[in-house]
Amino acid sequence: GENVEQHPSTLSVQEGDSAVIKCTYSDSASNYFPWYKQELGKRPQLIIDIRSNVGEKKDQRIAVTLNKTAKHFSLHITETQPEDSAVYFCAASRGDNYQLIWGAGTKLIIKP
Amino acid sequence: DGGITQSPKYLFRKEGQNVTLSCEQNLNHDAMYWYRQDPGQGLRLIYYSQIVNDFQKGDIAEGYSVSREKKESFPLTVTSAQKNPTAFYLCASSIGQVGPYEQYFGPGTRLTVT
C-alpha cells in the first residue's frame, strides 16, 4: 500500500546551522505535502505545505522542496534556534483526496 | 487554542472496560479524523468521517468505534477488544470535501489502560 518514509529519525545540529529532513512517498497521485511540528506533549501544528504544481516554497527560515519525478520532498530549516527542537512529521495526500499518509517523524535536537 | 477540543486530557481505565474519548470542533469543518500515536511512531489513522452520519475505517480500526451524529462532534470509543489501547489519541478536522487541506489537531487524550 501507500507509504511515506522519513529520514533521519533523529537529527542533532548546532544552533545556527541548517537542518534538512527528507521524505519519500509511493503514491504517484499524491498532490499535497504538509510538514507538521510537534513539541513534547502538544498537538502537531502545520508549519509549511506544498502542492504538486510547485517545486519550492519558503516561509522565513523554513523551506520545502518537492521533486515529483523522484517522489521525494524535503524540509529545510536555516539558522536553527533552540525553539526549533521538536518532532517533525511529513505527510502526503492519499491520491488527490483529503486523507494523509504520515511519515514516522524526525526528532530534531538543537545543541547550544 | 480554540477550534478543536478533546477531553479529557488524561484518562485511566481498567482492562476490559470500554471508554469514550470526546472530540468537538467549531471550525465548521466537514471532515474529522482520529489518530493513534505511539512513542517514536507517526500518526496512524483509526477512523475518519467526511460528512455527518458517515464514517470509514482507517488503517487500524479494529477494537475502535465512532459515531458522527453532529457535524461538530466525532467521539471515539475504545472497546475492550482493542488489544493494546494505551496510547496518545489525537482528533483532527479539515475542510474536507474538495481536495486535501490542512488538518487541525486537538490537544490529544493520553489513555492508560491497566
Residue A106: enclosing H or E segment and its boundaries? strand A106-111
Q: Which of A70, A89, A78 is nearest to A16 (CA)?
A: A78
> Looking at residue A96, what is its pLDDT?
65
> Chain B: nearest CA to A95, how far in angstroms?
9
Order of strands, sheet of A4-7, starting from the edge strand that comes earlier in the sequence? A4-7, A19-25, A72-77, A62-67, A56-59
Q: Is A10 on the interface with B (CB under 8 A)?
A: no
Residues contacting residue A8 through CB under 8 Å, at least 6 positions apart: A21, A106
Residue B37 is predicted with a pLDDT of 93
For position A44, what pLDDT does the model report? 95
pLDDT for the residue B100:
62
Q: Determine the residue among B89, B102, B104, B110 to mutate to test chain A binding: the one whose Cβ has the most chain A Cβ atoms within 10 Å.
A: B102
Question: Between the CA of residue A85 and those of A88, A107, A109, B59, what are the distances in Å?
Answer: 9, 8, 5, 29
- As to burial, measured by CB atoms within 10 angstroms (0-12 exposed, 13-18 middle, 19+ buried), residue A57 is middle
Nearest-CA distance B6 → chain A (Å): 11
Four-residue CA torsion sign, A66, A67, A68, A72: negative
Mutation target vs B (from A4, A46, A99, A107; most B CBs, 10 A cutoff): A99
Running along chain B, 114 residues long, what does each successive block of 10 average in pLDDT?
86 93 95 92 91 93 97 96 93 81 92 94
Residue A27 near chain B (CB below 8 Å): no
d(CA A86, CA B48): 27
CB A67 within 8 Å of CB A50: no
Spans of chain A, pLDDT less than 70 = 96-97
- A91 and A34 Cβ atoms separated by less than 8 Å: yes
CB atoms within 10 A of CB B73: 14
Q: Decide: A76 and A19 in contact? Cβ < 8 Å.
A: yes
pLDDT the model gives residue A67: 95
| Contact state of B100 with A42 under an 8 Å Cβ cutoff | no
**The residue to which cell 517545486 is assigned:** A55
Please tell me the distance from the alpha carbon of residue A49 to that of residue A91, in angstroms, as a whole number: 9
Distance from CA of A83 to the nearest CA of B (A): 19
Q: Is B16 on the interface with A (CB under 8 A)?
A: no
Interfacial A residues in 44-73 facing B (CB < 8 Å): 44-46, 49
Residue A43 near residue B107, CB atoms below 8 Å = yes
